[in-house]
């Protein structure tokens, strides 16, 4: 990965101002959040189950709109964007879902190539790149396998490869190492760090893994009961 | 490089049922169109034929007097030919009423002159009546076009009914496709969400469904069209080999126009399916992520 990342500017890559989220019938999931992340930052998001981590990530990868407040990504107020502009913005975001969301009828290669395919690129333009990335995540021998033939860990690595293939400006990962062994977890985190440093990609990782948080020593956002109660630099848990 | 799998999975049982419905609708639409067209064409040919025909009934004279009247009429402007009907011609004319045994003896036969005209038959009939009166011949000319007006009226009704039926079937097909598209979108929501989150535009996703239903419409339409062709060919064959008097049946056949309808129907069906899918997907996606 040698490409230049997004230009550094004073504009936050991620900015939430007074954001709250409520679903139709349930209680408030997120309350009055204010977050600013500069481009190129590497941030952990942690908190107990049900704290609202996944909901916050959904706001960031544009799967939900906030009930109150505003979300700005790369300086753009998402509420002001047309559907076409939202699609273009999503192409700058790579997401590793907790449940992987791999398409069962597509092979490993096709799943990883999906973001490029929907961008209109031709297979001859991306085949080598996709193959290299699949090999890098250790699935070179399974390149033509369908997701149901892969183990949980293999599926997770495939989901990570899909999130990275576009060299996103913002990478969002929801428990990306939940199904892999510690060695693979470290390897994946090192990849995220490499992406962050080489391409200046802004990375947000939701995780419960306090060992990895300690090991990689990055700022931590803590969520509890929908409230952000610490957005300081790294603190010892 | 191996062929990529489609982004939407291969069709399932729901689409097989939809295939049958679209094929049946296309079959009915084509059959309605062909039947209406065949009847219309046959009836139009009949009316075109009788437009220029008239019959003059001569009274108070013998056959020789009728021959003189026919000569007089044949010399009038706008008249192509005129002759007194022979007994054989009268027998043939009245065969539907009296059967193949002919007209029973003792029944007085009228003296009739058959006239072929190229001008306006109604005006010409009036002119013939005036001419016969002037010559002291008792007779009355009657243009067949007077009957054709009723046939034309029936044809207009038939055409309107056929157009209405085809429109109704088309709207039904569009509604069924729209319903099926919506169901397919719901069934594939997980895939649509992933595509959206990967940055796919609504237009890109809509095209996947459009292509799916375009192909389904094309294949189902072709199946319906082929079935309609088979049934029409059977009807034509059956009519042509029937022993019933040909005068009582329209001349049924499959011409180039019918073949064009058979070829165009699947494309029209597929186009309707594509439009229905585009509208449905567009509406549904606007209310999604």
With beta carbons less than 8 A apart as the criterion, state whether A200 and A231 touch: no
Q: Give yes or no for residue B6 having a pLDDT over 70.
A: yes
Sheet holding A202-206, edge to edge: A93-96, A170-174, A202-206, A42-46, A220-224, A227-230
What residues form DSSP beta bridges with A22?
A28
Q: Give yes or no for residue B253 having a pLDDT over 90.
A: no
Q: Give yes or no for residue B172 having a pLDDT over 70.
A: yes
Of A87, A104, A105, the CB nearest to B199: A87
Whose CA is closest to A143, among A121, A111, A184?
A: A111
Of B190, B199, B202, the CB nearest to A115: B199
- Chain A touched by B97 (CB under 8 Å): no
Which chain B residues are Cβ-neighbours of A130 within 8 angstroms? none
With beta carbons less than 8 A apart as the criterion, state whether A100 and A156 touch: yes
pLDDT at A230: 60
Integer Rg of chain B from CA:
31
With beta carbons less than 8 A apart as the criterion, state whether B103 and B91 touch: yes
Domain regions of chain B by residue span? 13-47+148-287, 52-143
Torsion of CA A159, A160, A163, A166, to 10 degrees: -120
Would residue A75 be called left, alpha or beta, if left means φ above 0 and alpha means ψ between -120 and 50 degrees?
A: left
DSSP of B112-181, one letter per residue? EEEEEESS-HHHHHHHHHHHHHHTT--EEEEETHHHHHHHHHHHHHHHHHHHHHHHHHHHHHHHHHHHHH
- Chain A touched by B199 (CB under 8 Å): yes
What residues form DSSP beta bridges with A28?
A22
Note which residues in 33-62 of chain A have CB less than 8 A from chain B: 61-62
- Chain A touched by B60 (CB under 8 Å): no
Question: What is the average pLDDT score of chain B?
Answer: 83
Burial class (CB in 10 A: 0-12, 13-18, 19+), A134: buried
d(C-alpha B27, C-alpha B217), whole Å:
12
- Chain B touched by A91 (CB under 8 Å): yes
For chains A and B, count residue pairs whose Cβ atoms are closer than 8 Å: 62
**Nearest-Cα residue of chain B relative to residue A91:** B199
Mean pLDDT of B237-263: 71
* Per-residue pLDDT tens over the stretch B217-233: 999 999 999 999 898 88
ipTM comes to 0.86
Rounded to a whole number of angstroms, the distance from the CA of A93 to the nearest CA of chain B is: 8
Q: Give yes or no for residue B250 having a pLDDT over 60.
A: no
CATH 3.30.70.100 fits B52-143, yes or no: yes
Of residues B120 and A97, more confidence is placed in: A97
The percent of residues above 70 in pLDDT, for chain B, comes to: 93
- Chain B touched by A125 (CB under 8 Å): no
Residues with pLDDT less than 50, chain A: 1-5, 7-8, 231-237
With beta carbons less than 8 A apart as the criterion, state whether A74 and A11 touch: yes
Of A62, A103, A123, the CB nearest to B194: A103
pLDDT at B13: 67
* Per-residue pLDDT tens over the stretch B64-103: 888 888 898 888 888 888 899 888 888 777 777 777 777 7
Rounded to a whole number of angstroms, the distance from the CA of A91 to the nearest CA of chain B is: 5
pLDDT at A170: 96
Of residues B154 and B203, more confidence is placed in: B203
Q: How far from A27 is each of A63, A75, A203, B137, B214, CA to CA, in Å?
A: 19, 30, 29, 105, 45
**Nearest-Cα residue of chain B relative to residue A106:** B5
């Amino acid at each position: 990965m040698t490409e230049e990342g997004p230009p550094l500017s004073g504009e936050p890559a991620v900015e939430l101002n007074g954001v709250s989220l409520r679903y139709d019938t349930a209680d408030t999931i997120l309350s009055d959040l204010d977050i600013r992340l500069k481009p190129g930052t590497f941030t952990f998001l942690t908190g107990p189950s049900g704290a609202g981590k996944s909901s916050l990530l959904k706001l960031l990868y544009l799967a939900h709109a906030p009930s109150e407040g505003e979300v700005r990504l790369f300086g753009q107020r998402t509420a002001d964007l047309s559907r076409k502009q939202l699609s273009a913005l999503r192409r700058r975001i790579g997401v590793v879902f907790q449940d992987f969301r791999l398409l069962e009828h597509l092979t490993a290669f096709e799943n990883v190539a999906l973001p490029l395919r929907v961008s209109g690129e031709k297979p001859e333009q991306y085949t080598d790149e996709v193959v290299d990335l699949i090999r890098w995540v250790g699935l070179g021998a399974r390149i033509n396998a369908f997701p149901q033939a892969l183990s949980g860990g293999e599926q997770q690595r495939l989901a990570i490869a899909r999130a990275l293939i576009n060299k996103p400006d913002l990478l969002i990962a929801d428990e990306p190492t939940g199904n892999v062994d510690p060695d693979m977890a470290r390897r994946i985190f090192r990849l995220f760090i490499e992406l962050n440093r080489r391409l200046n990609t802004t990375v947000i990782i939701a995780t419960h893994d306090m060992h990895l948080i300690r090991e990689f020593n990055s700022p931590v956002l803590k969520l509890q009961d929908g409230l952000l109660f610490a957005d300081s630099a790294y603190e010892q848990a | 490089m191996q062929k990529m799998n489609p982004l939407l999975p291969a069709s399932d049982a729901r689409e097989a049922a939809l295939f049958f419905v679209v094929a049946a609708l296309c079959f009915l639409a084509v059959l309605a169109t062909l039947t209406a067209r065949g009847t219309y064409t046959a009836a139009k040919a009949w009316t075109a034929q009788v437009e220029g025909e008239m019959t003059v009934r001569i009274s108070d004279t013998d056959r020789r007097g009728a021959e003189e009247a026919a000569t007089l009429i044949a010399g009038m402007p706008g008249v192509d030919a005129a002759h007194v009907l022979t007994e054989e011609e009268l027998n043939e004319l009245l065969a539907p009423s009296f059967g193949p045994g002919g007209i029973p003896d003792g029944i007085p036969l009228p003296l009739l002159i058959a006239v072929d005209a190229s001008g306006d038959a109604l005006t010409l009939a009036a002119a013939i009546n005036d001419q016969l009166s002037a010559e002291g011949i008792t007779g009355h000319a009657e243009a067949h076009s007077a009957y054709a007006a009723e046939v034309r009226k029936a044809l207009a009704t038939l055409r309107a009914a056929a157009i209405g039926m085809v429109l109704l079937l088309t709207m039904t097909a569009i509604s069924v496709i729209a319903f099926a598209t919506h169901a397919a979108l719901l069934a594939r929501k997980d895939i649509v969400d992933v595509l959206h989150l990967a940055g796919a535009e609504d237009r890109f996703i809509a095209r996947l469904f459009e292509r799916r239903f375009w192909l389904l419409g094309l294949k189902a339409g072709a199946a319906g069209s082929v079935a309609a062709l088979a049934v029409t060919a059977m009807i034509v064959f059956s009519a042509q080999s029937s022993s019933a008097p040909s005068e009582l049946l329209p001349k049924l056949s499959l011409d180039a126009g019918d073949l064009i309808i058979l070829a165009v129907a699947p494309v029209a069906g597929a186009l309707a399916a594509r439009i229905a899918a585009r509208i449905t997907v567009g509406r549904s996606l606007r209310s999604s992520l």
